[in-house]
Amino acid sequence: MAVSPRLAPVPGVLQPTLYLRLVTAAGAAVLVVVLITSGSDIGPLDVEFWMLAALVLLGELFPIQVHGQVGVDTFSTPFAFAILLLYGVPEVVVVQVGATLVAEVILRRPFDRIAFNVAQLVLSWAAAGAVFEALGGTGLGSAEGLQASDLPAIAVCALVFFLVNSTIVRTAEALLQKTRIVDHLLGDLLFRSWSNATLFALGPPVAVIADNWLYLVPVLVLPIAAVHLAAKQASEMEHLALHDRLTGLPNRTLLLQRTEQALEQGEHEIALLIFGLDRFQDINETLGRVQGDGVLVEIASRLRRSVRTTDTVARVEGDRFGVLLSSLPRAADAAATAEKIVEQLSRQIDVAGATLSVDATVGVACGPQHGRIAEQLLQRAEAAMYRAKRAQSRLEFFSPELEEEAPRRLVLVTALKRAIDDRSIGLHYQPKIELARRRVVGVEALARWTDPVLGQVGPSTFVPLAERTGLAEPLTSLALEIAAADCRRWQEQGCAVPVAVNVSARVLVDPRLPELVEDQRRAFGLSDDAIEIEITESTLMGDHVKAREALSRLRAIGIRTSIDDFGTGYSSLSYLRELPVHALKIDRSFITGLLDEPDSEAIVRSIIELARNLGLETVAEGAEDERVCERLMSLGCDYVQGFAIARPMSGDAMLRWLRAYAPST
């Protein structure tokens, strides 16, 4: 493992810099001792040595960055370990130093990091080799060759390397990230132990093959590269679980983790700032989702530039962002920072030929006086932000009175319950088109709510609120009733299309859901395929067994089901294979970058291939123009919906659109 240059030392803090220099000095000293004591023992070297040395260099050139850590892993370890077993400590140290220097220069790492990385690897291999020799390990370089009796020494040698290397690097990470060293040493210990054990286990086979069948050594690159790729994919999945895909910022979960760490240290004041963008939904509805996403990306960039490298900027949810200010000399400094950020955010943004001004409201909660638990601090910062919105002020600090007055959440809950009872929640619809024949195959129902007092409340706000407050069931019941009524009305006008309704995790596992759908179908005289159900991928990540049973009950009565927003969750592919669903809806975040981002196209292609192998249909969400539709069709996608076809519209407008729609092919 080596230290990546991604996180710089904190300005004015000597401790991390001093530690890096001490390790560098120790590594340099050990290197000198190894070279002096080895004397002329190094060389002449054979073809096996140079092939293994080349593979060590290759491994160093393709490091695995584990997100959330400063350290990187490489798949050079098995080949370096093989050199140790075949030739000895001086040889592996020389090769590792040379390969690391070349790779780090090519990768343009800072000089101090290069020196540290070389030093910690010298210390790790020297310690491992010394223990191996002390335990009587002979290795393949001896006359006897590798013996069964050498296996314990080999295992201990690998363990020593892991302990020395991990301790040196993780301590550097902890100092740079200002976290507790013990906690950081123990963090992800099982994962790191397993991945290192896997790499070291490949070392002896590499050595044996290199010593006896040299021509097979290049073949070993394939399985080792597979291990490297698997580790990289695991790292990317971990990153997706803790970061927002659109902006690349930490998400709510990671923000809470870092807030908890800052509170536990308790050495300085901290402040949690929650920014809510004002009237952001107007941008989405007027200019489209792509332009709205562009605004969010620009907001994220401005937030990053407005704070220190030691602070954390996160996308909490939708149009809400969080900023964790750590190590504040005094709580009052949070106000000055918040004002500075709001000023930066209010600067004009050019989007789609239009110049926009995006205002933000910020709520601030300081630790530890406003809370000693991360979740509590976040809730109180949000409460302060909602009060600022109600008061039409730019900034509000949390105060004890907020615990006594009706917070925004309670106001919304009351208003939402009233809206459901009064049936003032409405539905808009967006059509879904078969790409091959361009015929309409269905519509998706989208909940809409405009409150007389609160104004327009977005579904990203009131749907999660309904799920948390027991209103998800009546909201779903109302949506199913409205959707069934509109579906019947369209059918009577000669436009028979099925309607898909989204349900939450709580509603999905309710045993009464199939009966509820069946009641609506009978009440309006609809066919079995008239109503479909969509569930988000994250909905399925709770109780797998209950979700599978619920989907099976729906399938038994002829209801089609789709997994919405697919690709943004953390699904197990083996679990997905067991789900009785009909289609995967590819999340719009991948579709919007389809033409410009190779990674997005690769993901979309993989999802389509996965669905085809599982016998599922695919639906692409968020298609913005005809070029995207054509590309999706060439990739084998079955259906598409988005602004390229039509924007969401009311039931009456949907009927007019269905009557007027004519396929382009």
Whether 665 has a pLDDT exceeding 50, the answer reads: no
What is the predicted pLDDT for the residue at 577?
73
- From the number of C-beta atoms within 10 Å of its C-beta (0-12, 13-18, 19+), residue 470 rates as exposed
Confidence at residue 107, expressed as pLDDT on a 0 to 100 scale: 79
Amino acid at 404: E
What does the pLDDT average to over 95-124?
87
Residue with the larger pLDDT of the pair 187 and 309: 309
Q: How confident is the model at residue 198 (pLDDT cuts 50, 70, 90)?
A: confident
Nearest to 248 by CA among 599, 664, 624: 599
| Cβ partners under 8 Å of residue 150, min gap 6 | 137, 138, 139
Task: Please classify residue 562 by burial: count the beta carbons closer than 10 Å to its beta carbon, then call 0-12 exposed, 13-18 middle and 19+ buried.
Answer: buried
User: 549-570, pLDDT tens digit by residue?
Assistant: 888 899 988 899 998 888 765 4
> 626-645 pLDDT, tens per residue?
999 999 999 999 999 999 99
Tokens of 52: 């293994």
C-alpha span between 156 and 365 (Å, rounded): 50
Residue 234: what pLDDT?
A: 61
pLDDT of residue 418: 92
Cα–Cα distance measured from residue 619 to residue 585, given in angstroms and rounded to the nearest whole number? 4
Answer whether residue 255 shows pLDDT above 60: yes
Distances (CA, A) of 576 to 533, 547, 550: 17, 11, 14
**Rounded distance between C-alpha atoms, residue 580 and residue 538, angstroms:** 16
User: What mean pLDDT is predicted for residues 479-506?
Assistant: 92
5 band by pLDDT with thresholds 50, 70 and 90: very low
User: What tokens does 617 get?
Assistant: 């249909």
Quickly state the pLDDT bin for 469 (edges 50, 70, 90): confident
Integer angstrom CA distances of residue 358 from 273, 281, 557: 18, 11, 48
Alpha carbons 656 and 486: distance in angstroms, whole number: 13
- Say how far residue 44 (Cα) sits from the centre of its chain: 50
Predicted confidence (pLDDT) at residue 573 exceeds the cutoff of 60: no
pTM comes to 0.47
pLDDT digits 0-9 by tens, 116-155? 989 999 999 999 888 888 887 655 555 456 667 778 888 8
Sign of CA dihedral 103, 109, 110, 115: negative
Q: What is the mean pLDDT of residues 350-358?
A: 71
The more confidently predicted of residues 409 and 25 is 25
9 confidence band (pLDDT: 50, 70, 90):
very low
C-alpha to C-alpha distance for 169 and 265, rounded to whole angstroms: 21
538 DSSP 8-state letter = G
**CB contact at 8 A, 103 and 120:** no
Token duo for residue 633: 């069709």
What does the DSSP 8-state code read for residue 278? T
Q: What is the mean pLDDT of the chain?
A: 82
Q: Tell me, what's the pLDDT at 52?
A: 86
Residues above pLDDT 70, as percent of the chain? 82
Residues 179 and 171: beta-carbon distance below 8 Å: no
Whether the Cβ atoms of residue 1 and residue 200 lie closer than 8 Å to each other: no
In 3D space, the residue among 312, 332, 334, 336 whose CA is nearest the CA of residue 322 turns out to be: 312
Q: Are strands 561-566 and 583-586 parallel, antiparallel or unpaired?
A: parallel
Higher pLDDT: 4 or 291? It is 291
For residues 31 and 93, the answer to whether their CB atoms sit within 8 Å is yes
| Burial class for 663, CB neighbours closer than 10 Å (0-12, 13-18, 19+) | exposed
Q: Which of 46-55, 214-223, 554-563 has the lowest mean pLDDT?
A: 214-223
C-alpha to C-alpha distances, 182 to 67, 86, 177, 536, 605, nearest whole angstrom: 20, 36, 13, 38, 43
Rounded CA Rg of the chain: 30
